[in-house]
Structures are given as C-alpha cells and as structure tokens.
Amino acid sequence: MTETGKPIDRVDGRLKVTGAAKYAAEYNQPQMAYAFPVRSTIANGTIASVDTNAALQSPGVLMVLTHENAPRLKALDPQELSQAGGRLGENLVPLQDGRVHYFGQFIGVVVAETYEQARHAAGLVRVAYAEEKPAIDFETELLKGFRPETAQGQPAQLNTGQAAPLLAAAPVKIERTYTTPTENHHPMELHSTIAIWEGANKLIVHESTQSVMTVRAVVAYFFSLKPENVRVLAPYIGGGFGSKGNPWTNIVLAVMAGQAVNRPVKLVITRHMMQTNVGRRSETKQQVALGAGSDGKLAVMRHHNNSYSNLTQYFERSGSPTEVLYSAPLREITYQVARLNIGASTFVRAPGDAPGSFALESAMDELAYELKIDPVEFRVINHTTTDPLSKLPYSSEHLIECYRTGAEKFGWARRKQQPRQTRDGRYLVGYGTAAATYPASRASASARVRLAADGRVIVQSATLDLGTGTYTIMAQTAADALGVSVERIAVEIGDSDLPPAPVSARSITTASVLPAVLAACEMLRKDLMQLATADAKSKLNGVNPAEIIFSDAKFFARSDRSKSDSYSDILRRNNKTALEACTTAMPASGSGLGAPGASCILAPTDSEENSDAQKYSFHSFGAQFAEVRVDEDLGLIRVKRFTTVHDVGRIMNEKTARSQIIGSVTYALGETLMEETLFDKRFGNPVTRTLADYHVPVNLDVPPIDVHFIGKPDPHISPIGARGLGEIASVGVAAAVANAVFNATGKRIRDLPITPDKLL
C-alpha cells in the first residue's frame, strides 16, 4: 500500500472551506414551506384541549397539525420496524395521541410560508393539560427502578452478589461511589429535514443523519411506502456523535407536514430543542469496589451501575470497561435503571465506556495509591491478553505498549507518588493516567466501484462522513487497490440509493466499509485483467494473471515491465465506456449484517477474518496521560497538556486519524470539566437550555494534545486491519484528569464535572 496511511489532505476539504459542501437544510426547494414544532410545557400527563384558532389566523400559516387532526400513521411494532432495518431514538410516534411523556415533547407542528411565520404561530397555540406529577428526581426514582435482563443482546447482570466474600477477604480494598451528570448532544449542525413528496407514493428526504438506510426504513414503515420509493440524502453532516444515529420524531413531523400541505417542507430544530428532543447521556451513579492482594494483583472487581431511561430499552452500559480491562478471578457487574419523565437517553460518543471508565479508572488510581504502587505499573500487573468474560484472545492487543509509549512521551517518570509535591508558582501541578478501551465492531457493507475509459474512478456506498474523513480514506483505499492516483477518484456517499452500508456509529465505518471498497476494487481489477490477457492486441495477451502487477493505472508483466497495458486502452479496445464491480463484504461467519438489501456480489472472506467473536474478542485500547494546574485559592483547573496513545489497528490516514483523536479528547474534556444538564425537579424542564449555559470547551480550554498510534494492523478484523477510532480517545480522559487533580491537590473528585466549587 502506498496511499494508505499517508497524511494527505481531506479530499472534501476545499468544498468545506469554500461553502460548496451543502448540508441538509441548504437544499431549498421551489414553493418550499416551513415547519416549526409545538412543544409540551408539562413533563407528564395528557392534553385536555388544543386551541389553534389564533395560529391559523396568523399571517402565512398553511396548517396546524396536532393529535386531533394529524394523519394516522402505522402503529409502532419495534420488532417489525427492526426487521425492516429501522430504529427510533424513542418509541414515540408523534401526534398519534394526547399523551405527554416529557417536557418539550413535540405535540404539534405549524406549517407556514416562512420560518418566522411558523415559529411565531407555534407560540400562539394554546394547550390545556390534565397534568400528573412527573418522575424527575433520579435518586428517588432509582429505588423504584428496574433491573434489565439484557444489554445489547448480552446478559446485563453478571455474578450478582458473588463479590462480597472475596471483597471481605481481600487484604487491600476500596469501595467508592462515582457520579456523572446528564449530558446533551450539541453538534454544530442542528437536526434538519427537508421532505419532498413526488406524488402520493414517492419521497425524497434531505436529512442530517448518521444512517440514510435507517431513515429510509423508518419513513417507509410509518407512511406505508416501498423502501425503494424513499430516497434519503446526506452527503455532508455537521457532526453527529450518536444523536443522529437513530431517527427522532422531527423527521416524521417534517414528512407528515409535507404530505399534509402537498409542498416541500423544511424543519430545522432549535438549539433549545437539542436539550429535549434528540436524546442525551443519562446521569449515572456507579459504585465500584476493588480488592487486591498486597502484591497488587486484583482478586475481585464489583461495579454497580445506575442510570435512567424513558421511551426506549436503551440505558447507559457503564460497566463495559469493567468487562474488558484487567485480570481478576471474579467480577460482578449489575445495572439498575430508573424511569424518568425526561426525553429518551441514547448513544453519546463512547456510550457506556466514557462514564464507566471515569468510575473504574478513578478506582484503579485510588487502589494503586493505597497499595503504594505506581498507577501505570499497577495496570501492567493486572493486564490481561484475553477477554475476561469470553476467555477468547483479543484479535490484536498492544495495551502495555500504549502504557509504555505514553509514559515515555509524557514524561511520567517525573511524577511524584504523594500529592501536593509539585508547584509552579501559585499552581499545584499533578499528573494522572487512565486506560481506555472500546469495542471494535464490523458489520456487512456494500460498495460499487466504476472505472471509466478516461481513467476516472467513482467509489460509491451509502455510508456517511460525519466530518471524520470517510471520503478521504475511501479514496485512499481505492487508490491502492487499483493503482490509481487519489486525484482521479471521486467518492459518492450519503445516498440511500447507493449500495447499502451500516449506521456510521459505534466506530464501525472504517472496519466495515473499507473492506467492501477493497473487495470491489479487487473484483474490478480482476475483470479488467481478464480482458487484457484475453485480448490479442494487448501486450499482456496470454500472460499468467499471477505474474501481472499494477500501478499508475496500468498492468505490467512482473518479469518484463515493457509488457504493459493501460486501463483506458483495455476498455477502449473492448468498446467499453466503463467497467464496474459491486461487492458486499462481511465477517467470516456471515452474521452481523448491517446493510440489508444488498444486491452486490458477496466478497470472498479469509477464514482468519472473524469479527463475530467466535475465535477472538475485538476491542481497541489506549492510554491517557494528563497534566493539570490547579489554582488552590480559586479552585480553577487548567489541563496543561495531554498525551494519548492508541492501539486501533492500521492507521488509514495519519492526519485525519490524529484530527479525530484531538476532537475526541476535546469532547471528553468538556464532559470532564464543564458539561452538565440540570432539570427543574418540580416541572421537568431543563434549566440548562442552550450553549449559553450548557458549557463546552473553547480554544483556551484545550491544551496541546500529543497523539500517538501503535499502528499495528489487526489481522483478524478484515484484510485491511483497520479498526474505528472515533470514540476510544474520549474513554479514560475524565479519569486521567481527575487522577491528576488528586495528584496535584490531594483531593478526590468523584462527581463530574470537576468544577471549582468541588475543589474549594
């Protein structure tokens, strides 16, 4: 491979910086109307009456839809929808009844000639309620919560009650409680939809989504359309982080509004609605107990996890890191989930692992301190090369190398074991570390590659680029597989009419889509080579294909490079304007299908590829190191520098990979130091409503971030050996910073975010 791994500029970079890259809300249509939702002002109850008269008389208003006059959609059967390839962010179909489940729920929609007219009229809709007391207080409702039996298809409760005797017998032990707050999604691009009906049975949807295939399935399901008659377009996405992985009710509202007025309709939610209507990471309360011998070897791990949910089976699986990291004879992991009248919890970057690692990795630091063992060495002592639960070896694991590399690059040897030993003027200085892990997933995906006679190549798949560099690494993969320069390759994605691909979430895109691109290129190259060797006019006529090599859009005989033939000449002599191949690539066992409906040829799979965990356990690993400065008088924390090292398989593009890691660490610094959503416990409304009071990092909050990769390909996940890396770098960041704060001040902060009031 010659292009793979190179830090080339993003192929879509110029389009982004010049404004030529269009996002969902920018595809304005002739005669387009605007929709604006009406939201509930209570958190629990039923709608007694709705008065829309004033809204209907307001200038420009075309229609007001509520549960009283909205079209009846197909009733939700989650299992049937799932079988059709669809999922919802919350199991709630809008405007089908008068029930209110949370504050801010969409209970109506106004359609008008302009956005301003629709928004103004929405404020004129008067709603009376039969209000019921909402369940808002987490601690209170947790006592009445439920214990889920499964989590993502696996048993949720592990070894319940078995840790107590081992903890009692452990020579050294700790038991601590760690809490993380409710956190909200705030990508730069708001959730946006333009719905365009073409007659009664065909629909085009421009949507800001992480899965065009899922949106297509959801819309087709509720509006009783054939999936092939729904086209969803999302060539560019302004960030998702999980919030756009599953469709929310705003999409259904927009399509419903367009059908009702028989015009294209645009619906863009507000920043306020990001706090209520598109999911969040739920609050967690985690009790971690660790027991070890005086030699530092863990004897037992216990991790009790508490979170909340509503209108979904999803809950924050914060025990995930405890399933994977460290060798211990027994680990007990349990879950309790409260039901609150708050919008559904959902996937947020590194779901489960990010808050879970804060608890586990803080506890590991606390136990290392009790044992008087260096925190890095304590992790090395308890390192495991096999999955503690499945007992399978990891497909590729270099975590100790991450520790050693990070410690050297960071200068960990300068750290003093006792806190409050290092100062820089008025600041206390501390060092902290944490391990990171995240599942390495692969699903089926399809790709089409077309080679034109003029030498241009088009690579197509219904995957997405959330701003992470998918366009670029797809081009690099095709460039190497065909021996064509990146400049001659165009990548087309974000269109449900293209060969299907799985949701761009769970760090799954690189591991799933690139093998499909590689397989399609190899099939096309093989077909082209057969044309050449069978052509009497070709210099390669009769040459054994095994003796043919390729580069610069040409084939060469390995033993005599004067025997060559260009791709363009081969096609022209055979009277072909183009040649194409379409393949579906999947893990060896044939399960894990993430792209239903693929019509492409199934790519051959090597027996060692097995990402379905029959032979191996698939995870990525990393190590985080933070230096903090703490103003003892004011309680202000500044992360001075951060070193992050990751084992994520082959690196497809050093520049875009590094950019992803920097973004992920920055994201996690926000969760660590400032992000928190608070609710009024009387009414259920979020008190933190916009980016004015829901704080995220700005430039001055972000230190220099030193990024390193192990870079060793995973030989079992795919022929390429690359795993996803969009999420792992946010795992362990909070614990590394919290552990550094302890090293600086001697004070343990077990409650995120780490704000000055908790230090003073």
pLDDT in tens, 192-210: 999 999 999 999 999 999 9
Helix/strand/coil for 169 = helix
Under DSSP, is residue 377 helix (H, G, I), strand (E, B) or coil? helix
Separation between Cα atoms, residue 564 and residue 532, nearest integer Å? 10
Q: Are 231 and 324 part of one and the same domain?
A: no
Residue 328, domain member (yes or no) = yes
Residues 406 and 496 in one domain: no
What pLDDT is stored for residue 153 in this prediction?
A: 80
Is the domain of 640 the same as that of 708? Answer: yes
- 483 near 522, Cβ under 8 Å? no
d(CA 688, CA 185): 13
Q: At what angle do helices 509-533 and 470-482 cross, to 10 degrees?
A: 30
Nearest to 574 by CA among 613, 605, 612, 528: 528
Q: Mind spelling out the 3-state secondary structure of 95-134?
A: CCCCEECCCCCEEEEEEECCHHHHHHHHCCCEEEEEECCC
Active-site residue, from 90, 522, 676, 727: 727
Domain end residue (candidates: 274, 295, 330): 274
Q: Running DSSP on this structure, what letter comes out for residue 219? A: H
Question: Does residue 609 form part of some domain?
Answer: no
Indicate the residue among 554, 577, 602 that finishes a domain.
602
For residue 425, the enclosing domain spans 150-183+280-440+615-759
Between CA 518 and CA 4 the distance in angstroms is 12
Active site residue 727: yes
Closest alpha carbon to 672 in 288, 183, 240, 317: 183
Q: Confirm if 51 and 44 have CB atoms less than 8 A apart.
A: no
Residue at 5 is within a domain: no
* Pairing outcome for strands 554-557 and 564-566: antiparallel
Per DSSP, the residues of 468-481 read SSHHHHHHHHHHHH
| Same domain for 749 and 695 | yes
CA pair distance 397, 380, nearest whole angstrom: 13
Which structure tokens are listed for 585?
A: 């690539």
Question: Do residue 628 and residue 708 come from a single domain?
Answer: yes
With respect to residue 428, please indicate whether it lies within any of the assigned structural domains. yes
User: Residue 127 — φ and ψ, nearest 5°?
Assistant: -125, 130
Task: Determine which helix (DSSP H) or strand (DSSP E) holds 240, and give its type and residue range.
Answer: none
| Of 73, 1, 52, residue with least CA distance to 653 | 1
Query: Both 385 and 524 in a single domain?
Result: no
Q: Which two tokens stand for residue 484?
A: 């064509």
| Structural domain includes residue 1 | no
Which DSSP category does 663 fall into?
Answer: H
In angstroms, the CA 729 to CA 700 distance is: 20
Q: Select from 546, 579, 602 the last residue of a domain.
A: 602
Q: How many residues does the chain have?
A: 760
Q: Is residue 41, in this structure, part of any structural domain at all?
A: yes
User: pTM for this one?
Assistant: 0.96
The pairing of strands 548-551 and 172-180 is unpaired
**Token pair for 71:** 């079209």
Output the six-digit token pair for 183: 């956190």
CA-based radius of gyration for the chain: 27
Residues 257, 331, single domain; the answer is: no
pLDDT reported for residue 592 = 47
Torsion of CA 338, 339, 343, 348, to 10 degrees: 30
- 552 and 458 share one domain: yes
Residue 402 resides in a domain = yes
DSSP structural state of residue 331: E
Instruction: For the beta carbon of residue 438, count every other beta carbon within 10 angstroms.
Output: 32
Report the alpha-carbon distance of residue 248 to residue 1 in Å, rounded: 41
Q: What is the DSSP letter of 751?
A: B
The single residue listed with the structure tokens 């990291």 is: 325
729 DSSP 8-state letter: G
Residues 65 and 170 in one domain: no
Helix residue spans in 278-324 (DSSP H): 320-324
Residue 321 sits in the same domain as residue 408: yes
Amino acid symbol at 539: K
426 φψ region: left (φ > 0), alpha (ψ -120 to 50), beta (else): alpha
- Number of neighbours of residue 595 by Cβ within 10 angstroms: 26
H or E segment and range at residue 253: helix 249-261
**pLDDT, tens digit, for every residue of 412-429?**
999 999 999 999 999 999
CATH number (domain holding residue 100): 3.90.1170.50
Q: Which residues contact 663 (CB under 8 A, 6 or more apart)?
A: none
Same domain for 179 and 97: no
Amino acid letter, 649: G
Q: What's phi and psi for 541, nearest 5 deg?
A: -60, 125
The interaxial angle of helices 654-673 and 733-745, nearest 10 deg, is 60
Q: How far apart, in whole angstroms, are the C-alpha atoms of residue 339 and residue 41? A: 19
Helix (H) or strand (E) holding 323: helix 320-324
Is there a single domain that holds both residue 394 and residue 508? no
The answer as to whether 7 is a domain residue is no
- Which residues in the chain show pLDDT less than 50? 591-595
Phi and psi at 135, nearest 5°, equal: -90, 105
**Each residue's pLDDT tens digit, 424-462:** 999 999 999 999 999 999 999 999 999 999 999 999 999
**CA 760 to CA 754: how far, in whole Å?**
11
CATH code for the domain of 482:
3.30.365.10
* Overall number of domains in the chain: 3
